[in-house]
Amino acid sequence: MVRDLREKMLQEMEHKELFEQVQKYGFAYVDQVRERNVFPTDDAIADLAVFTESLPQASGDAAEILALLHRYGSPATVAQTGGRYFGFVDGGVIPAALAARLLSDYWDQNTALYDMSPLASRLEEICEMWLRELLGLPEKVVAGFVSGSSLAIFCGLAAARYRIFQNNHWNINKKGFRGAPAVRIVAGRQAHGTVSKALALLGFGLDNIAWVDTDREGRIIPEKIPELDEKTILVLQAGNVCSGSFDRFEELCTKANKAKTWVHIDGAFGLWAAASSTLRHLTRGIEIANSFSLDGHKTLNTPYDNGIVLCDDKDALTQALHASGSYISHSGNRDGMFYTPEMSKRARSVELWAALKYLGKEGVDELVSGLHHRALQFKDELKEAGFHILNDVVFNQVVVACDTDELTSQTMKHLQQSGECWAGGAVWAGKTVIRISVCSWVTTERDITRSVTAFVAARQKAAGYRNTEQNVSGDRERSW
């Protein structure tokens, strides 16, 4: 039986029909994704019930499995690679990077060690070099390639933890926290939730964070920062997840540098502004920070999952994430596992390299600046249509509200149900808001105007329902 299954799979690899079948499905998806419903229909979601079954006893037919996935799976996806998805900071996908990802999937490389994949090791080195150049970072900065900025934040703060304890004659890897010197964390009240998660995972405890007040855009107020010292980690933000705002890096990093405080910059989507000729001013001063977290799959539009940690202290990063074993062979070349928590990991550097190689400096500049231009268009057209814009649109985020919280909530509900575009909700400055993230290279001026039309229609529908409910309520009151 095992031999029969092996022969079947060998034939599938040899004959290639499965791969041609998937290519056909992929092409069909790409052809229709820009005009289909941005969020799947109720029928498409209901049809997902077809996948609920007991684990099959016997081996199945690969072609039938792929056909099932395409027939019921494709319609139930969110059209993130179209031009009208603005729900989260989710990028589109650059064709060259997607094609490179597909090729690397055929290679199926484990990139823990150079001996496992010399190619991946070399591309990691090149991406590291290119990222330093794009973002204007010092030569000593090294990179680790992880699943996303959540893990990249963890890595950067782990390096900070190691270095601070080491400087205070405490080996955190061996001794743990019991009896350890106190380390203080300073972060803005608008820090992303992944910062809190990383700090909790690292054992710092959320009650030990000194939260700093922020201004109306979500930026740390410099005057509110407590006294800094060599036992402090200061967490700053390049791109508030709602407003898109940037902390004042030049002032804050200079202050921290003088106090020998470790600075980590959470720049999941915003750090890419450093690669834009028109937005670079937003990141002035980042070069004297110590560690950074960012995503390729957000602003740069690589395929998922593609996160990056950058750190100016190679020893701290690699020691914090250290793993060993008698079977682990060191070649003297770059071994990717020492820059990340994972040992086994896919070759993320392939599509990152392809995206950077394809775009070049000018292309990255055009991509990043283009997202800003579309966000400004969104702001202007929504404002003209009578919506309230509650943030300064400095990058790609727009915070929108209607006249009341109820109307905002109902407008968002009808917008999401429309299929025309999709945006998510949040609470900003105590108000219910609709949060727009412009993150895809695919988004055109027409997509923005079409989406604004959908906003207006959703508000009209929401107002109509609200007026109907008020009339019904009034009739009931009169009948009482």
Q: Give me the percent of the chain exceeding a pLDDT of 70.
A: 96
Query: In which band, very low, low, confident or very high, does the pLDDT at 291 lie, cut at 50, 70 and 90?
Result: very high
Residues 30, 118 within the same domain: no
Residue 94 in any domain: the answer is no
pLDDT of residue 326: 64
Check if the beta carbon of residue 287 is closer than 8 Å to that of residue 297.
no
Residue 474 has pLDDT above 70, yes or no: no
What angle is formed at CA 422 by the lines to CA 292 and CA 309, rounded to 5 degrees? 10
Residue 419 has pLDDT above 80, yes or no: yes
What angle is formed at CA 12 by the lines to CA 6 and CA 16, rounded to 5 degrees? 155
Residues 323, 436 within the same domain: no
CATH of the domain at 174: 3.40.640.10
- State the residue range of the domain holding 212: 99-358
pLDDT of residue 58: 94
pLDDT of residue 331: 81
What's 243's DSSP letter? Answer: T
Query: In which band, very low, low, confident or very high, does the pLDDT at 223 lie, cut at 50, 70 and 90?
Result: very high
Residue 89 in any domain: the answer is no
Residues 379, 345 within the same domain: no
* CA separation, residue 27 to residues 21, 70, 350 (Å): 10, 11, 22
Query: In which band, very low, low, confident or very high, does the pLDDT at 37 lie, cut at 50, 70 and 90?
Result: very high
Give me the phi and psi of 404, to 5 degrees please. Answer: -135, 160
Residues 341, 255 within the same domain: yes
Residue 457 in any domain: the answer is yes
Query: In which band, very low, low, confident or very high, does the pLDDT at 480 lie, cut at 50, 70 and 90?
Result: very low
pLDDT of residue 237: 98
Query: In which band, very low, low, confident or very high, does the pLDDT at 327 lie, cut at 50, 70 and 90?
Result: confident
Annotate 132-161 with three-state secondary structure: HHHHCCCCCCEEEEECCHHHHHHHHHHHHH
pTM of the model: 0.94
Q: What is the pLDDT of residues 438-463, one digit of tens each?
A: 999 999 999 999 999 999 999 999 99
Where does a domain end: 338, 358, 378? 358
Residues 155, 226 within the same domain: yes
Residue 199 in any domain: the answer is yes
Query: In which band, very low, low, confident or very high, does the pLDDT at 414 lie, cut at 50, 70 and 90?
Result: very high
Where does a domain end: 300, 332, 358? 358
**If we measure between CA atoms, which residue out of 325, 355, 336, 2 comes closest to residue 143?**
336
Residue 90 in any domain: the answer is no
Q: What is the DSSP string of 418-436?
A: HSS-B-EEEEETTEEEEEE
Residues 176, 299 within the same domain: yes
**If we measure between CA atoms, which residue out of 244, 239, 248 comes closest to residue 267?**
239
Residue 348 in any domain: the answer is yes
Type of residue found at 427: V
pLDDT of residue 473: 41
Tokens in use for 453? 């039309």
Residues 343, 464 within the same domain: no
Residues 336, 396 within the same domain: no
Residue 85 in any domain: the answer is no
Q: What is the pLDDT of residues 333-364, one digit of tens each?
A: 999 999 999 999 999 999 999 999 999 999 99
Residue 85: exposure state from Cβ atoms within 10 A (0-12, 13-18, ≥19): buried
Query: In which band, very low, low, confident or very high, does the pLDDT at 476 lie, cut at 50, 70 and 90?
Result: very low
Check if the beta carbon of residue 132 is closer than 8 Å to that of residue 138.
yes
* Residue 144: strand pairing partners: 309
Residue 203 in any domain: the answer is yes
**If we measure between CA atoms, which residue out of 240, 328, 329, 271 comes closest to residue 152?**
271
pLDDT of residue 472: 35
Q: In what order do the strands lie in the sheet containing 307-311?
A: 142-146, 307-311, 291-295, 262-266, 232-237, 184-188, 209-212
pLDDT of residue 162: 97
More confident residue, 130 or 3: 130
pLDDT of residue 330: 79
* N-term to C-term CA, the chain: 77
pLDDT of residue 439: 97
Q: Give me the percent of the chain exceeding a pLDDT of 90.
A: 93
Residues 348, 382 within the same domain: no
Mean pLDDT of 265-284: 98
CA torsion, points 171, 174, 178, 180, in degrees to nearest 10? 0
Mean pLDDT of the chain: 94
Residue 57 has pLDDT above 80, yes or no: yes
Residues 187, 212 within the same domain: yes
More confident residue, 474 or 310: 310
Residue 475 has pLDDT above 50, yes or no: no
Where does a domain end: 358, 391, 422? 358
Mean pLDDT of 7-36: 96
Tokens in use for 206? 């959320």
Residues 73, 220 within the same domain: no
Cis peptide before 207 (omega within 30 of 0): no
Tokens in use for 53? 């079954």
CATH of the domain at 451: 3.90.1150.10
Alpha-helical segments (H) within 183-331 = 193-201, 249-258, 314-320
Domain count, the chain: 3
Residues 181, 325 within the same domain: yes
Contacts of 455 (CB under 8 A, 6+ apart): 382, 385, 387, 400, 411, 415, 421, 434
